[in-house]
A and B are shown apart, each in its own frame.
Chain A
Amino acid sequence: MKLSNPLRTGNTGRVVALCGLIILLPIGYSAVRALIPQRSEVPQVFLEKPLAAFQDCVEETSYMRVHHMDLLKQLREDVIRDGIRGEVTLEQCARCHTSRERFCDRCHQAANVILDCFGCHYYPEPGSEAQGL
Protein backbone atom coordinates (compact mmCIF):
# COMPACT_ATOMS: atom_id res chain seq x y z
CA MET A 1 0.00 0.00 0.00
CA LYS A 2 1.55 3.22 -1.04
CA LEU A 3 0.86 6.14 1.24
CA SER A 4 0.80 9.52 -0.40
CA ASN A 5 4.07 11.15 0.47
CA PRO A 6 3.61 14.65 1.90
CA LEU A 7 7.14 15.55 1.01
CA ARG A 8 6.77 16.01 -2.71
CA THR A 9 9.24 18.71 -3.58
CA GLY A 10 6.71 21.51 -3.56
CA ASN A 11 5.66 20.81 0.00
CA THR A 12 9.01 20.95 1.75
CA GLY A 13 8.45 24.46 3.05
CA ARG A 14 5.13 23.52 4.56
CA VAL A 15 6.61 20.46 6.22
CA VAL A 16 9.43 22.49 7.71
CA ALA A 17 6.86 25.01 8.95
CA LEU A 18 4.86 22.18 10.47
CA CYS A 19 7.93 20.85 12.27
CA GLY A 20 8.63 24.33 13.57
CA LEU A 21 5.09 24.57 14.85
CA ILE A 22 5.38 21.22 16.62
CA ILE A 23 8.55 22.39 18.32
CA LEU A 24 7.27 25.85 19.21
CA LEU A 25 3.79 24.84 20.33
CA PRO A 26 4.71 23.34 23.71
CA ILE A 27 7.17 26.15 24.36
CA GLY A 28 4.51 28.72 23.53
CA TYR A 29 1.94 26.97 25.66
CA SER A 30 4.29 26.89 28.64
CA ALA A 31 5.15 30.54 28.16
CA VAL A 32 1.51 31.55 28.04
CA ARG A 33 0.66 29.43 31.07
CA ALA A 34 3.54 30.95 32.98
CA LEU A 35 2.58 34.50 32.10
CA ILE A 36 -1.14 34.47 32.79
CA PRO A 37 -2.01 34.82 36.48
CA GLN A 38 -2.82 31.52 38.11
CA ARG A 39 -6.30 30.69 39.17
CA SER A 40 -6.68 28.87 42.39
CA GLU A 41 -6.93 25.31 41.14
CA VAL A 42 -6.77 23.79 44.54
CA PRO A 43 -8.53 20.52 45.15
CA GLN A 44 -10.96 20.44 48.01
CA VAL A 45 -9.52 17.96 50.42
CA PHE A 46 -9.74 17.70 54.15
CA LEU A 47 -6.52 19.11 55.59
CA GLU A 48 -5.63 18.85 59.22
CA LYS A 49 -6.32 22.12 60.96
CA PRO A 50 -3.25 23.91 62.32
CA LEU A 51 -2.64 24.06 66.02
CA ALA A 52 -2.94 27.82 66.22
CA ALA A 53 -5.60 30.06 64.75
CA PHE A 54 -4.99 30.64 61.09
CA GLN A 55 -4.81 34.37 61.63
CA ASP A 56 -1.37 33.69 63.10
CA CYS A 57 -0.14 32.31 59.79
CA VAL A 58 2.13 34.32 57.53
CA GLU A 59 -0.64 35.09 55.08
CA GLU A 60 -4.31 34.26 54.91
CA THR A 61 -5.43 30.80 53.91
CA SER A 62 -6.73 31.54 50.41
CA TYR A 63 -3.42 33.23 49.54
CA MET A 64 -1.34 30.43 51.05
CA ARG A 65 -3.24 27.74 49.17
CA VAL A 66 -2.23 29.19 45.82
CA HIS A 67 1.00 31.03 46.55
CA HIS A 68 2.82 29.13 49.29
CA MET A 69 5.45 27.97 46.82
CA ASP A 70 6.14 31.53 45.68
CA LEU A 71 6.59 32.50 49.32
CA LEU A 72 8.93 29.58 49.93
CA LYS A 73 10.97 30.40 46.84
CA GLN A 74 11.36 34.01 47.94
CA LEU A 75 12.34 32.80 51.43
CA ARG A 76 14.99 30.50 50.08
CA GLU A 77 16.47 33.17 47.79
CA ASP A 78 16.66 35.55 50.76
CA VAL A 79 18.26 33.01 53.06
CA ILE A 80 20.68 31.35 50.67
CA ARG A 81 21.73 34.22 48.45
CA ASP A 82 21.48 37.18 50.80
CA GLY A 83 21.80 35.63 54.22
CA ILE A 84 18.57 37.28 55.35
CA ARG A 85 17.38 34.88 58.00
CA GLY A 86 14.26 36.64 59.20
CA GLU A 87 11.34 35.74 61.36
CA VAL A 88 9.50 33.55 58.91
CA THR A 89 11.16 30.15 58.82
CA LEU A 90 10.13 26.65 57.88
CA GLU A 91 10.38 25.61 61.53
CA GLN A 92 7.68 28.13 62.27
CA CYS A 93 5.31 26.48 59.79
CA ALA A 94 5.84 23.04 61.28
CA ARG A 95 4.97 24.27 64.76
CA CYS A 96 1.34 24.61 63.73
CA HIS A 97 1.16 22.23 60.80
CA THR A 98 2.53 19.31 62.72
CA SER A 99 2.04 16.48 60.30
CA ARG A 100 3.31 16.41 56.77
CA GLU A 101 1.16 13.41 55.86
CA ARG A 102 -2.08 14.99 57.01
CA PHE A 103 -1.30 18.41 55.64
CA CYS A 104 1.16 18.71 52.75
CA ASP A 105 0.77 15.26 51.27
CA ARG A 106 -3.02 15.21 51.20
CA CYS A 107 -3.38 18.21 48.96
CA HIS A 108 -0.31 17.45 46.87
CA GLN A 109 -1.45 13.93 46.17
CA ALA A 110 -4.89 15.12 45.18
CA ALA A 111 -3.45 17.87 42.97
CA ASN A 112 -0.79 15.54 41.59
CA VAL A 113 2.03 17.97 42.24
CA ILE A 114 5.35 16.38 43.11
CA LEU A 115 6.87 17.37 46.44
CA ASP A 116 10.61 17.74 45.95
CA CYS A 117 11.30 19.20 49.39
CA PHE A 118 11.55 16.33 51.79
CA GLY A 119 14.33 14.38 50.09
CA CYS A 120 16.57 17.05 51.63
CA HIS A 121 14.54 18.92 54.24
CA TYR A 122 13.38 17.13 57.35
CA TYR A 123 9.76 17.55 58.38
CA PRO A 124 9.62 16.89 62.10
CA GLU A 125 7.26 14.29 63.49
CA PRO A 126 4.55 15.67 65.74
CA GLY A 127 5.91 15.91 69.22
CA SER A 128 9.47 15.15 68.18
CA GLU A 129 12.35 17.15 69.52
CA ALA A 130 13.94 18.03 66.18
CA GLN A 131 12.96 21.51 65.24
CA GLY A 132 14.68 22.10 61.98
CA LEU A 133 13.51 21.77 58.42
Chain B
Amino acid sequence: MAVEFARLEGRSKPYYTAMVVLAGLGLVGTFATYYMHVHGLYLSGMTNRVPWGLQISMAIFYIGLSAGSLVVSGLYGIFGQMQYKPFARIAAYLAMLFLIAGLLSIFTDQGRLDRVLVEPFTHFNLRSMFSINPSLYSGHVMICVIYLWALFREKGTLTKIASLTVVLWAIGTHTGTGAIFAFVPRELYNSPLLPPSFVAAALSSGAALMILVNVALFRAAKRPLADELVVWLGRRLLAIFLLVTLYMMLIENLHRSYLVGTREAGLFFLFGGFHSLLFWVGLITLGCIIPAVLLFMRRTGTSVNWIVFASVLVVVGVLFERFLIVVPGLIHPPELFPGMEITSSPIWEGVVRYSVSFPEITQALGVAGVIGFAFLAGLKFMPLMPTEARAVA
Protein backbone atom coordinates (compact mmCIF):
# COMPACT_ATOMS: atom_id res chain seq x y z
CA MET B 1 0.00 0.00 0.00
CA ALA B 2 1.51 3.28 -1.03
CA VAL B 3 1.21 6.17 1.36
CA GLU B 4 1.47 9.60 -0.17
CA PHE B 5 2.68 12.51 1.86
CA ALA B 6 1.85 16.12 1.11
CA ARG B 7 2.53 19.46 2.73
CA LEU B 8 -0.16 21.31 4.54
CA GLU B 9 -1.64 24.17 2.52
CA GLY B 10 -1.16 26.42 5.49
CA ARG B 11 -3.05 29.42 4.21
CA SER B 12 -6.23 29.19 6.19
CA LYS B 13 -7.26 31.68 8.83
CA PRO B 14 -7.00 29.20 11.71
CA TYR B 15 -3.48 28.35 10.59
CA TYR B 16 -2.30 31.95 10.51
CA THR B 17 -4.05 32.73 13.76
CA ALA B 18 -2.34 29.79 15.43
CA MET B 19 1.04 30.85 14.07
CA VAL B 20 0.60 34.40 15.33
CA VAL B 21 -0.52 33.27 18.76
CA LEU B 22 2.33 30.79 19.09
CA ALA B 23 4.89 33.31 17.90
CA GLY B 24 3.51 35.84 20.36
CA LEU B 25 3.80 33.37 23.21
CA GLY B 26 7.36 32.62 22.16
CA LEU B 27 8.28 36.30 22.20
CA VAL B 28 6.71 36.91 25.58
CA GLY B 29 8.47 33.86 27.01
CA THR B 30 11.80 35.02 25.62
CA PHE B 31 11.31 38.41 27.21
CA ALA B 32 10.44 36.82 30.56
CA THR B 33 13.62 34.72 30.41
CA TYR B 34 15.73 37.75 29.54
CA TYR B 35 14.15 39.80 32.31
CA MET B 36 14.89 37.08 34.85
CA HIS B 37 18.43 36.79 33.54
CA VAL B 38 18.99 40.48 34.26
CA HIS B 39 17.14 40.81 37.55
CA GLY B 40 17.49 37.42 39.14
CA LEU B 41 15.61 34.17 39.46
CA TYR B 42 13.85 35.42 42.58
CA LEU B 43 11.08 36.38 40.17
CA SER B 44 10.25 32.72 39.88
CA GLY B 45 8.54 30.76 42.62
CA MET B 46 11.71 28.85 43.43
CA THR B 47 13.46 29.23 46.75
CA ASN B 48 16.53 27.92 48.51
CA ARG B 49 14.54 24.91 49.69
CA VAL B 50 12.90 24.28 46.31
CA PRO B 51 15.55 25.12 43.73
CA TRP B 52 13.85 23.26 40.88
CA GLY B 53 10.27 23.84 39.88
CA LEU B 54 8.09 24.35 36.87
CA GLN B 55 10.79 24.64 34.19
CA ILE B 56 12.55 21.42 35.12
CA SER B 57 9.19 19.62 35.41
CA MET B 58 8.23 20.83 31.95
CA ALA B 59 11.67 19.91 30.62
CA ILE B 60 11.39 16.29 31.69
CA PHE B 61 7.78 16.24 30.49
CA TYR B 62 8.83 17.32 27.00
CA ILE B 63 11.78 14.95 26.93
CA GLY B 64 9.47 12.13 27.94
CA LEU B 65 6.98 13.00 25.22
CA SER B 66 9.67 12.60 22.61
CA ALA B 67 10.19 8.95 23.55
CA GLY B 68 6.64 7.87 22.95
CA SER B 69 6.48 9.60 19.60
CA LEU B 70 9.66 7.87 18.52
CA VAL B 71 8.47 4.43 19.50
CA VAL B 72 5.39 4.90 17.32
CA SER B 73 7.61 5.97 14.48
CA GLY B 74 9.97 3.15 15.21
CA LEU B 75 7.27 0.54 14.83
CA TYR B 76 7.17 1.43 11.19
CA GLY B 77 10.88 1.96 10.81
CA ILE B 78 12.14 -1.10 12.62
CA PHE B 79 9.44 -3.66 12.16
CA GLY B 80 8.01 -2.40 8.91
CA GLN B 81 4.53 -2.28 10.37
CA MET B 82 2.83 -0.50 7.52
CA GLN B 83 -0.16 0.63 9.54
CA TYR B 84 2.09 3.05 11.40
CA LYS B 85 3.72 4.46 8.28
CA PRO B 86 1.27 7.37 8.01
CA PHE B 87 2.42 8.63 11.39
CA ALA B 88 6.12 7.95 11.05
CA ARG B 89 7.27 11.35 9.74
CA ILE B 90 5.14 13.45 12.07
CA ALA B 91 6.31 11.33 14.98
CA ALA B 92 9.97 11.75 14.11
CA TYR B 93 9.64 15.51 13.63
CA LEU B 94 7.61 15.91 16.80
CA ALA B 95 10.12 13.86 18.77
CA MET B 96 12.91 16.15 17.62
CA LEU B 97 10.93 19.25 18.53
CA PHE B 98 9.99 17.92 21.96
CA LEU B 99 13.60 17.25 22.77
CA ILE B 100 14.46 20.79 21.72
CA ALA B 101 11.63 21.99 23.94
CA GLY B 102 13.16 20.10 26.84
CA LEU B 103 16.54 21.67 26.18
CA LEU B 104 14.95 25.11 25.93
CA SER B 105 13.15 24.64 29.22
CA ILE B 106 16.36 23.67 30.97
CA PHE B 107 18.18 26.52 29.30
CA THR B 108 15.71 29.14 30.50
CA ASP B 109 16.12 27.85 34.06
CA GLN B 110 19.84 28.47 34.45
CA GLY B 111 21.25 31.20 36.65
CA ARG B 112 23.88 32.42 34.23
CA LEU B 113 22.58 32.33 30.67
CA ASP B 114 25.79 33.97 29.50
CA ARG B 115 27.79 30.95 30.60
CA VAL B 116 25.44 28.06 29.99
CA LEU B 117 26.31 27.81 26.30
CA VAL B 118 30.05 27.97 26.96
CA GLU B 119 30.99 26.19 30.18
CA PRO B 120 29.17 22.85 29.78
CA PHE B 121 30.92 22.34 26.45
CA THR B 122 34.39 23.41 27.49
CA HIS B 123 34.38 21.81 30.94
CA PHE B 124 32.82 18.41 31.06
CA ASN B 125 32.17 16.25 34.12
CA LEU B 126 31.79 12.60 33.19
CA ARG B 127 30.40 11.80 36.63
CA SER B 128 27.51 14.21 36.38
CA MET B 129 24.25 13.18 34.77
CA PHE B 130 23.63 16.83 34.00
CA SER B 131 26.80 16.78 31.93
CA ILE B 132 26.23 13.48 30.15
CA ASN B 133 22.64 14.24 29.26
CA PRO B 134 23.21 17.22 26.93
CA SER B 135 25.40 14.96 24.81
CA LEU B 136 22.64 12.37 24.78
CA TYR B 137 20.07 15.03 23.89
CA SER B 138 22.05 16.64 21.09
CA GLY B 139 22.92 13.22 19.70
CA HIS B 140 19.27 12.36 19.85
CA VAL B 141 18.31 15.45 17.86
CA MET B 142 20.94 14.67 15.23
CA ILE B 143 19.80 11.08 14.86
CA CYS B 144 16.20 12.29 14.56
CA VAL B 145 17.29 14.53 11.69
CA ILE B 146 19.01 11.62 9.96
CA TYR B 147 15.97 9.42 10.56
CA LEU B 148 13.61 12.07 9.17
CA TRP B 149 15.81 12.43 6.12
CA ALA B 150 15.79 8.66 5.63
CA LEU B 151 11.99 8.66 5.85
CA PHE B 152 11.74 11.43 3.27
CA ARG B 153 14.03 9.62 0.96
CA GLU B 154 12.15 6.36 1.51
CA LYS B 155 15.45 4.57 1.92
CA GLY B 156 14.49 1.24 3.38
CA THR B 157 17.72 0.07 4.96
CA LEU B 158 18.76 3.45 6.28
CA THR B 159 15.30 3.93 7.73
CA LYS B 160 15.58 0.65 9.53
CA ILE B 161 19.02 1.40 10.94
CA ALA B 162 18.23 4.99 11.86
CA SER B 163 14.98 3.94 13.45
CA LEU B 164 16.62 1.27 15.56
CA THR B 165 19.39 3.66 16.56
CA VAL B 166 16.98 6.38 17.51
CA VAL B 167 14.74 4.12 19.59
CA LEU B 168 17.70 2.67 21.48
CA TRP B 169 19.22 6.09 21.88
CA ALA B 170 15.87 7.40 23.13
CA ILE B 171 15.74 4.72 25.81
CA GLY B 172 19.25 5.73 26.80
CA THR B 173 18.31 9.41 26.87
CA HIS B 174 15.27 8.85 29.03
CA THR B 175 17.09 6.55 31.37
CA GLY B 176 19.66 9.31 31.69
CA THR B 177 16.98 11.87 32.39
CA GLY B 178 15.48 9.68 35.07
CA ALA B 179 18.99 9.19 36.43
CA ILE B 180 19.33 12.93 37.01
CA PHE B 181 16.94 12.40 39.89
CA ALA B 182 17.55 8.78 40.75
CA PHE B 183 21.31 9.12 41.23
CA VAL B 184 21.00 11.76 43.94
CA PRO B 185 20.84 11.03 47.69
CA ARG B 186 17.45 12.54 48.42
CA GLU B 187 14.88 10.26 50.01
CA LEU B 188 12.16 10.78 47.44
CA TYR B 189 14.54 10.87 44.46
CA ASN B 190 16.91 8.04 45.20
CA SER B 191 15.32 4.98 43.61
CA PRO B 192 16.63 2.52 41.03
CA LEU B 193 13.09 2.23 39.70
CA LEU B 194 12.94 5.89 38.76
CA PRO B 195 14.70 5.64 35.36
CA PRO B 196 12.52 2.75 34.08
CA SER B 197 9.37 4.34 35.49
CA PHE B 198 10.37 7.54 33.74
CA VAL B 199 10.68 5.64 30.47
CA ALA B 200 7.29 3.97 31.01
CA ALA B 201 5.52 7.27 31.64
CA ALA B 202 7.37 8.77 28.68
CA LEU B 203 6.06 6.05 26.41
CA SER B 204 2.50 6.53 27.68
CA SER B 205 2.50 10.29 27.29
CA GLY B 206 4.19 10.13 23.90
CA ALA B 207 1.78 7.59 22.49
CA ALA B 208 -1.17 9.57 23.87
CA LEU B 209 0.11 12.78 22.37
CA MET B 210 0.64 11.08 19.01
CA ILE B 211 -3.02 10.12 19.04
CA LEU B 212 -4.09 13.65 19.93
CA VAL B 213 -1.85 15.37 17.43
CA ASN B 214 -2.75 13.11 14.56
CA VAL B 215 -6.50 13.17 15.13
CA ALA B 216 -6.43 16.95 15.46
CA LEU B 217 -4.22 17.43 12.41
CA PHE B 218 -6.15 15.12 10.12
CA ARG B 219 -9.44 16.71 11.14
CA ALA B 220 -8.08 20.23 10.71
CA ALA B 221 -6.56 19.44 7.33
CA LYS B 222 -9.68 17.53 6.31
CA ARG B 223 -7.71 14.45 5.37
CA PRO B 224 -9.21 11.07 6.04
CA LEU B 225 -7.85 9.11 8.98
CA ALA B 226 -9.03 5.55 9.34
CA ASP B 227 -10.51 4.75 12.75
CA GLU B 228 -8.67 1.46 12.90
CA LEU B 229 -5.28 3.25 12.98
CA VAL B 230 -6.29 5.29 16.00
CA VAL B 231 -7.65 2.19 17.68
CA TRP B 232 -4.35 0.41 17.03
CA LEU B 233 -2.43 3.27 18.60
CA GLY B 234 -4.79 3.37 21.52
CA ARG B 235 -5.55 -0.21 22.38
CA ARG B 236 -2.36 -1.90 21.27
CA LEU B 237 0.20 0.71 22.34
CA LEU B 238 -1.15 3.18 24.82
CA ALA B 239 -3.04 0.68 26.91
CA ILE B 240 0.04 -1.49 27.40
CA PHE B 241 2.23 1.50 28.25
CA LEU B 242 -0.39 2.64 30.80
CA LEU B 243 -0.36 -0.70 32.55
CA VAL B 244 3.43 -0.69 32.75
CA THR B 245 3.39 2.87 34.14
CA LEU B 246 0.83 1.93 36.75
CA TYR B 247 2.88 -1.11 37.72
CA MET B 248 6.03 0.97 38.15
CA MET B 249 4.22 3.57 40.27
CA LEU B 250 2.82 0.81 42.47
CA ILE B 251 6.15 -0.87 43.11
CA GLU B 252 8.00 2.40 43.69
CA ASN B 253 5.57 3.61 46.30
CA LEU B 254 5.13 0.23 47.95
CA HIS B 255 8.89 -0.08 48.32
CA ARG B 256 9.30 3.38 49.79
CA SER B 257 6.48 2.96 52.24
CA TYR B 258 7.49 -0.55 53.26
CA LEU B 259 11.08 0.07 54.27
CA VAL B 260 11.38 1.75 57.65
CA GLY B 261 14.15 4.06 56.52
CA THR B 262 12.08 5.69 53.78
CA ARG B 263 8.63 5.11 55.25
CA GLU B 264 8.09 8.63 56.56
CA ALA B 265 9.05 10.14 53.23
CA GLY B 266 7.04 7.57 51.30
CA LEU B 267 3.90 8.20 53.32
CA PHE B 268 4.44 11.95 53.05
CA PHE B 269 4.47 11.56 49.29
CA LEU B 270 1.30 9.47 49.30
CA PHE B 271 -0.74 11.29 51.91
CA GLY B 272 1.10 14.35 53.15
CA GLY B 273 0.01 17.31 51.08
CA PHE B 274 -1.53 18.83 48.00
CA HIS B 275 0.83 16.78 45.87
CA SER B 276 -0.87 13.64 47.19
CA LEU B 277 -4.10 14.84 45.64
CA LEU B 278 -2.28 15.33 42.36
CA PHE B 279 -0.96 11.79 42.72
CA TRP B 280 -4.11 9.90 43.61
CA VAL B 281 -6.66 11.88 41.66
CA GLY B 282 -4.57 13.40 38.90
CA LEU B 283 -2.12 10.66 38.08
CA ILE B 284 -3.48 7.33 39.28
CA THR B 285 -7.20 7.76 38.78
CA LEU B 286 -7.52 10.21 35.93
CA GLY B 287 -4.16 9.55 34.36
CA CYS B 288 -3.87 5.78 34.50
CA ILE B 289 -6.92 3.82 35.69
CA ILE B 290 -9.74 5.61 33.87
CA PRO B 291 -7.90 5.76 30.52
CA ALA B 292 -6.88 2.09 30.86
CA VAL B 293 -10.46 1.09 31.54
CA LEU B 294 -11.70 3.19 28.64
CA LEU B 295 -9.18 1.63 26.30
CA PHE B 296 -9.73 -1.96 27.33
CA MET B 297 -13.52 -1.83 27.30
CA ARG B 298 -14.68 -2.77 23.84
CA ARG B 299 -17.35 -0.11 23.51
CA THR B 300 -15.14 2.84 24.36
CA GLY B 301 -11.86 1.37 23.20
CA THR B 302 -12.99 1.22 19.61
CA SER B 303 -14.38 4.75 19.46
CA VAL B 304 -12.02 7.48 18.28
CA ASN B 305 -13.62 10.14 20.47
CA TRP B 306 -13.24 8.07 23.61
CA ILE B 307 -9.66 7.25 22.73
CA VAL B 308 -8.95 10.95 22.27
CA PHE B 309 -10.51 11.65 25.67
CA ALA B 310 -8.40 8.93 27.26
CA SER B 311 -5.30 10.35 25.60
CA VAL B 312 -5.96 13.81 27.01
CA LEU B 313 -6.27 12.29 30.48
CA VAL B 314 -2.99 10.42 30.04
CA VAL B 315 -1.05 13.47 28.90
CA VAL B 316 -2.31 15.55 31.82
CA GLY B 317 -1.64 12.69 34.21
CA VAL B 318 1.96 12.36 33.08
CA LEU B 319 2.41 16.13 33.39
CA PHE B 320 1.40 15.74 37.04
CA GLU B 321 3.75 12.79 37.35
CA ARG B 322 6.71 14.88 36.17
CA PHE B 323 5.83 17.54 38.71
CA LEU B 324 5.60 14.80 41.34
CA ILE B 325 9.08 13.60 40.46
CA VAL B 326 10.63 17.02 40.99
CA VAL B 327 8.83 18.92 43.73
CA PRO B 328 7.74 16.61 46.59
CA GLY B 329 11.34 15.44 47.00
CA LEU B 330 12.34 19.04 47.60
CA ILE B 331 9.52 20.20 49.83
CA HIS B 332 10.11 17.24 52.11
CA PRO B 333 13.08 17.92 54.40
CA PRO B 334 15.98 15.50 54.86
CA GLU B 335 16.09 13.78 58.22
CA LEU B 336 19.28 15.24 59.65
CA PHE B 337 18.69 14.20 63.27
CA PRO B 338 16.84 10.88 63.56
CA GLY B 339 14.54 10.92 66.53
CA MET B 340 14.75 14.70 66.85
CA GLU B 341 12.96 17.55 65.19
CA ILE B 342 14.17 21.04 64.42
CA THR B 343 12.06 23.52 66.37
CA SER B 344 13.74 26.77 65.45
CA SER B 345 15.96 27.85 62.60
CA PRO B 346 16.62 30.93 60.48
CA ILE B 347 15.57 28.98 57.40
CA TRP B 348 12.60 26.79 56.60
CA GLU B 349 13.59 23.35 57.91
CA GLY B 350 10.37 21.38 57.72
CA VAL B 351 7.92 20.81 54.91
CA VAL B 352 7.77 23.89 52.70
CA ARG B 353 5.46 25.05 49.97
CA TYR B 354 6.18 25.75 46.35
CA SER B 355 3.98 27.90 44.14
CA VAL B 356 4.67 28.98 40.60
CA SER B 357 4.95 32.64 39.74
CA PHE B 358 3.62 34.48 36.73
CA PRO B 359 7.01 34.98 35.02
CA GLU B 360 7.67 31.26 35.41
CA ILE B 361 4.41 30.37 33.70
CA THR B 362 5.21 32.86 30.96
CA GLN B 363 8.54 31.15 30.35
CA ALA B 364 6.86 27.76 30.06
CA LEU B 365 4.23 29.10 27.68
CA GLY B 366 7.01 30.66 25.65
CA VAL B 367 8.73 27.34 25.12
CA ALA B 368 5.41 25.78 24.09
CA GLY B 369 4.87 28.65 21.68
CA VAL B 370 8.25 28.27 20.01
CA ILE B 371 7.85 24.53 19.54
CA GLY B 372 4.27 24.79 18.36
CA PHE B 373 5.31 27.40 15.82
CA ALA B 374 8.14 25.19 14.58
CA PHE B 375 5.78 22.24 14.30
CA LEU B 376 3.15 24.07 12.26
CA ALA B 377 5.83 25.62 10.08
CA GLY B 378 7.31 22.18 9.47
CA LEU B 379 3.94 20.85 8.39
CA LYS B 380 3.68 23.59 5.81
CA PHE B 381 7.17 23.35 4.37
CA MET B 382 7.80 19.63 4.52
CA PRO B 383 5.63 16.74 3.38
CA LEU B 384 5.10 15.33 6.85
CA MET B 385 1.43 14.52 6.75
CA PRO B 386 -0.02 11.79 4.56
CA THR B 387 -2.79 12.76 2.16
CA GLU B 388 -4.83 10.05 3.74
CA ALA B 389 -4.30 7.37 6.31
CA ARG B 390 -6.16 4.20 5.57
CA ALA B 391 -6.01 0.93 7.40
CA VAL B 392 -3.92 -1.79 5.82
CA ALA B 393 -6.08 -4.58 4.48
Considering the chains assembled together, what is the distance between the CA atoms of A5 and B379 in angstroms?
A: 13
New contact pairs (8) apart from A9-B152, A16-B148, A20-B145, CB-CB < 8 Å: A7-B382, A7-B383, A12-B149, A13-B149, A13-B153, A16-B145, A16-B149, A116-B114
Q: Does B236 sit at the interface, judged by CB under 8 A?
A: no
Point out the residues of chain B lying under 8 angstroms from A20, CB to CB.
145
Q: How far is the CB of B203 from chain A (nearest CB, A)?
A: 28
Point out the residues of chain B lying under 8 angstroms from A13, CB to CB.
149, 152-153
Q: How far is the CB of B114 from chain A (nearest CB, A)?
A: 8
Interface size bucket, B side?
10 to 19
Interface residues of B in 143-182 (CB under 8 A from A): 145, 148-149, 152-153
Interface residues of B in 98-116 (CB under 8 A from A): 114
Considering the chains assembled together, what is the distance between the CA atoms of A86 and B381 in angstroms?
A: 61
Q: Point out which of A5, A7, A13, A116 has the most chain B C-beta atoms below 10 A from its C-beta.
A: A7
Q: Does B7 sit at the interface, judged by CB under 8 A?
A: yes
Point out the residues of chain A lying under 8 angstroms from B7, CB to CB.
5, 7
If over half of B's interface residues share one DSSP class (helix, strand or loop), that class is named, otherwise mixed; here it is helix
Is A12 a contact of B381 with CB atoms below 8 Å?
A: no
Interface residues of B in 332-388 (CB under 8 A from A): 381-383
Considering the chains assembled together, what is the distance between the CA atoms of A7 and B7 in angstroms?
A: 9
Point out the residues of chain B lying under 8 angstroms from A16, CB to CB.
145, 148-149
Considering the chains assembled together, what is the distance between the CA atoms of A9 and B7 in angstroms?
A: 10
Is B381 a contact of A5 with CB atoms below 8 Å?
A: yes
Considering the chains assembled together, what is the distance between the CA atoms of A7 and B114 in angstroms?
A: 36
Considering the chains assembled together, what is the distance between the CA atoms of A79 and B360 in angstroms?
A: 37
Considering the chains assembled together, what is the distance between the CA atoms of A13 and B145 in angstroms?
A: 11
Considering the chains assembled together, what is the distance between the CA atoms of A16 and B382 in angstroms?
A: 11
Q: How far is the CB of A112 from chain B (nearest CB, A)?
A: 15
Considering the chains assembled together, what is the distance between the CA atoms of A9 and B114 in angstroms?
A: 40
Q: How far is the CB of A72 from chain B (nearest CB, A)?
A: 16
Q: Which of A5, A12, A116 contacts B153 (CB under 8 A)?
A: A12
Point out the residues of chain B lying under 8 angstroms from A5, CB to CB.
7, 381
The digit string for A67-79, where 1 denotes a CB below 8 A from any CB of B, is 0000000000000
Is A9 a contact of B145 with CB atoms below 8 Å?
A: no
Point out the residues of chain A lying under 8 angstroms from B153, CB to CB.
12-13
The digit string for A9-53, where 1 denotes a CB below 8 A from any CB of B, is 100110010001000000000000000000000000000000000
Is A9 a contact of B149 with CB atoms below 8 Å?
A: no
Given known pairs A12-B152, A13-B153, the reply for A7 and B145 (CB within 8 Å) is no
The digit string for A86-121, where 1 denotes a CB below 8 A from any CB of B, is 000000000000000000000000000000100000
